A and B are shown apart, each in its own frame.
Chain A
Amino acid sequence: GENVEQHPSTLSVQEGDSAVIKCTYSDSASNYFPWYKQELGKRPQLIIDIRSNVGEKKDQRIAVTLNKTAKHFSLHITETQPEDSAVYFCAASGSGGYQKVTFGIGTKLQVIP
């Protein structure tokens, strides 16, 4: 089955700096890669996703990159703000409607004002 490795497990950055979270996956058949953000005491919410037919996707201060050959994908947050502080989970799955999602261990991001 699929295995997703995520690092770092914790990350502290100064407000305004960039944050990068990296993930690797094992199943070359995976072709859908969502990122979820879980703020303290709240539910995980999808913030951005990428499919395997593209190498990069951007949404304001958030970008994801995907290297299918190396089975790596990353989340980049620029100009971090205190409200970016949360646990971020990467995940991988097939793109069919019935595909199981495998999550990484999560990265606790702290943005220091």
Chain B
Amino acid sequence: EAGVTQFPSHSVIEKGQTVTLRCDPISGHDNLYWYRRVMGKEIKFLLHFVKESKQDESGMPNNRFLAERTGGTYSTLKVQPAELEDSGVYFCASSQVGGGSNEQFFGPGTRLTVL
């Protein structure tokens, strides 16, 4: 079974530019989460989709961040315009709804560097 995939693996952009990160969850997983880890800090929750609906976006830092999951399959996270403090590793995770398991399966992450 293919795991969660993310693209790109690395992105280096200049302050003020736009970057779009993509996440493909495990097939059949309705829950999709975005997280960010700034170096040396916790993995911080950004938002949660159930299918195409945003269930919880309380962790989104500000309106420069826009997440979408059209059709309830893959998701994109766009940062526009990027700022220096947006640098970090962005993880996506997915999980099943119900079935008695809470396990979230993580993708490999996208390392974003804003110069």
Give chain A's interface residues, CB within 8 Å of chain B. 1, 4, 6, 32, 34, 36, 42-46, 49, 89, 93, 95, 97-106
**A42–B45 contact, CB under 8 A?**
no
What's the nearest-Cβ distance from chain A to residue B104, in Å?
Answer: 6
* B42 and A97 form a contact (CB under 8 A): no
| Of A45, A49, A98, A102, the contact of B45 (CB 8 Å cutoff) | A102
17 A-B contacts, Cβ less than 8 Å apart?
A: A6-B42, A32-B102, A43-B3, A43-B4, A44-B43, A45-B106, A46-B103, A97-B95, A98-B31, A98-B50, A98-B97, A99-B102, A100-B48, A102-B45, A103-B35, A103-B43, A106-B43
Known interface pairs A44-B43, A89-B43, A105-B41; A100-B108 also in contact (CB < 8 Å): no
Residues of B near A45 (CB, < 8 A) are 106
- Which residues in B have their C-beta under 8 angstroms from that of A89? 42-43
A43-B109, A98-B31 known; A4+B42 contact, CB < 8 A: yes
Residues of B bordering A, CB below 8 Å: 3-4, 31, 33, 35, 40-45, 48, 50, 55-56, 58-59, 91, 95-98, 102-109
Chain B residue numbers with a CB within 8 Å of A98 are 31, 48, 50, 55-56, 97
Contact A101–B45 (Cβ < 8 Å): yes
A5's closest neighbor in chain B, by CB?
B42
Chain B residues near A95: list those with CB within 8 A. 102
> Are A97 and B45 in contact, with the CB atoms below 8 A?
no
B91 contact set on A, CB distance < 8 A = 43-44
Q: Are B97 and A97 in contact (CB under 8 A)?
A: yes
A residues within 8 A CB of B103?
34, 46, 49
Residues in A with CB closer than 8 Å to B56 are 98, 100
B106 in contact with A44 (CB, 8 Å): yes
Which residue on A lies nearest to B59, using beta carbons?
A100
Residue of B nearest to A51 (CB): B102
Complex contact B104–A101 (CB within 8 A): yes
A43 touches B42 (CB 8 A): no
